[in-house]
């Protein structure tokens, strides 16, 4: 039995022995920004490209796909979250080959809430000032491909959330595997485990308050500072299993059909289907549909269910088409609000 079979068995046993999601725990996890996908290509497929994602986007979907780049890839994205809220998710990703079969990647993502008015108990209408929460993620990942058939990878992500005088820090680990087969690598299988890590807890001077000494000695009154202990919260871990198949029409045109199952530890499980059509490896159109599974005592569903779609354009930068500039757009329907828009610029060698 060769190393590829051992690797597939290892990851399959690791992932399939995880406890399935519990919809009755919906809303009990924190750091929900870990579930946000800023990248246009995978967002147009409702983040269901577990089996086929490559390059910098793999650090959000399946880290195993990071090593399936030529030399390097640089991506910059802006994600206009839930149109009408004024929230944005901005991300910068970089991936480079390490040797012949490995790749190292780094991703920086920042959630922008805009300016929020400062209010107090005595000034509920606002003090005239404002603040903006700082939610930042920094990830470092590595992936390795065996004989172009199987890729494995692991990623560590640091998470920080803060407002004035209160902050929290945590870290998460992602792991994934991809397997390809067929004459033109038509069949693809992907499994990824995401957001497994330490609980996070808020702390800082903003959780402290001053009260008079309840038992003054000698008639002396003074104040004591009391610290409130905030409850910790878990990260929104998930397991993705995806399959895709490419139907070629000529040497460069193909239609990819895919399906994906997501087991969420703190919400309903999800399943979906999607497809994308690539014309001469320069224009790609994609669409997907995803829905929640099961019932829960809580009547709320995931904000991302229903339709998603998008398109990509690859602009060659030289005659050999080895250097490309990619432009990606995606739209995802949301309930409520008016949908999310993703814009991505990519440069690859």
Using one digit for the tens of pLDDT, what is the confidence trace for 135-172?
999 999 999 999 889 999 999 999 999 998 899 999 99
Within the chain, which residue ranges are assigned CATH 2.40.160.60? 3-199+234-348
pLDDT at 296: 57
pTM > 0.95: no
Q: Which of 147, 86, 150 is nearest to 113 (CA)?
A: 86
Lowest-confidence region among 3-17, 103-117, 254-268: 3-17
pLDDT score of 230 more than 90: no
Residue with tokens 């870990």: 34
For 230, left (φ over 0), alpha (ψ -120 to 50), or beta?
A: beta
Residue with tokens 């005088």: 165
Which tokens in the block code for residue 66? 């990071």
pLDDT at 20: 47
pLDDT score of 21 more than 70: no
For the four alpha carbons of 184, 186, 191 and 192, in that order, the dihedral sign comes to positive
* Candidate ranges 81-85, 155-159, 165-169, 333-337; pick with highest mean pLDDT: 155-159
pLDDT at 138: 97
Rounded to 5 degrees, what are φ and ψ at 9?
Answer: -60, -40
Q: Which of 29, 347, 5, 345 is nearest to 147 (CA)?
A: 5
Confidence band of 300 (pLDDT split at 50, 70, 90): low
Confidence band of 26 (pLDDT split at 50, 70, 90): low
pLDDT at 2: 55
Q: Which of 185, 177, 184 is nearest to 150 (CA)?
A: 177
Cα gap 242→260, rounded to integer Å: 4
pLDDT mean over 89-94: 96
Is pLDDT larger for residue 342 or for residue 296? 342
Percentage of the chain lying above the pLDDT 90 cut: 59
Residue 40 β-bridge partners? none
**179-209 as b/e: b if 16+ CB within 10 A:** bbeeeeeeebbbbbbbbbbeebebbeeeeee
pLDDT at 299: 55
What are the counts of helices (DSSP H) followed by strands (DSSP E) for the chain? 3, 18
pLDDT score of 24 more than 70: no
Cα gap 180→199, rounded to integer Å: 35
Lowest-confidence region among 20-29, 232-241, 335-344: 20-29
Rounded to 5 degrees, what are φ and ψ at 112?
Answer: -105, 120
Residue with tokens 């930042």: 136
Helix (H) or strand (E) holding 2: none
Confidence band of 13 (pLDDT split at 50, 70, 90): very low
Domain at 3-199+234-348, CATH class: mainly beta
Confidence band of 298 (pLDDT split at 50, 70, 90): low
Rounded to 5 degrees, what are φ and ψ at 182?
Answer: 110, 165
pLDDT digit string, tens, across residues 174-223: 999 999 998 889 999 999 999 999 899 999 888 888 888 777 776 677 78
pLDDT at 208: 86
Q: Please, what is the average pLDDT of the chain?
A: 88
pLDDT mean over 232-258: 93
pLDDT at 1: 44
Q: Are 309 and 287 in contact (CB under 8 A)?
A: yes
Cα gap 346→325, rounded to integer Å: 6
Residue 139, SS3?
strand
Confidence band of 337 (pLDDT split at 50, 70, 90): confident
Cα gap 302→306, rounded to integer Å: 10
pLDDT score of 9 more than 90: no
């Amino acid at each position: 039995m060769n190393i590829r079979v051992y690797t597939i068995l290892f990851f399959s046993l690791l992932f399939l022995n995880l406890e399935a999601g519990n919809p009755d725990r919906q809303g009990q996890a924190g750091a929900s920004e870990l579930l946000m996908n800023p990248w246009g290509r995978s967002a147009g497929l409702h983040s269901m490209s577990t089996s086929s994602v490559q390059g910098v986007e793999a650090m959000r979907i399946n880290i195993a796909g990071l090593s399936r780049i030529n030399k390097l890839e640089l991506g910059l994205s802006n994600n206009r979250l839930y149109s009408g809220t004024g929230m944005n998710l901005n991300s910068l990703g970089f991936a480079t080959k390490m040797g012949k079969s490995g790749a190292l990647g780094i991703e920086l993502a920042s959630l922008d809430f805009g300016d929020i008015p400062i209010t107090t108990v005595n000034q509920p209408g606002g003090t005239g000032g404002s603040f903006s929460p700082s939610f930042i993620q920094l990830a470092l990942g590595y992936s390795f491909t065996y004989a172009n058939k199987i890729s494995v990878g692991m990623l560590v992500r640091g998470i920080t959330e803060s407002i004035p005088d209160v902050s929290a820090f945590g870290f998460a680990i992602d792991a994934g595997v991809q397997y390809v087969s067929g004459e033109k690598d038509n069949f693809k299988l992907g499994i990824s485990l995401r957001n497994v890590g330490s609980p996070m807890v808020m702390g800082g001077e903003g959780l402290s308050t001053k009260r008079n000494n309840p038992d003054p000695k000698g008639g002396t009154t003074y104040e004591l500072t009391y610290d409130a202990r905030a409850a910790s919260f878990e990260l929104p871990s998930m397991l993705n299993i995806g399959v895709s198949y490419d139907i070629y029409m000529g040497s460069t045109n193909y239609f990819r059909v895919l399906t994906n199952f997501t087991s969420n530890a703190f919400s309903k499980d999800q399943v979906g289907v999607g497809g994308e059509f690539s014309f001469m490896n320069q224009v790609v159109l994609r669409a997907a549909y995803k829905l929640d599974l099961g019932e829960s005592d809580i009547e709320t569903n995931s904000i991302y269910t229903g339709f998603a779609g998008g398109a990509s354009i690859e602009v060659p930068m030289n005659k050999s088409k080895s250097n490309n500039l990619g432009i990606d757009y995606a739209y995802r329907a949301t309930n409520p609000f008016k949908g999310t828009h993703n814009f991505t610029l990519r440069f690859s060698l």
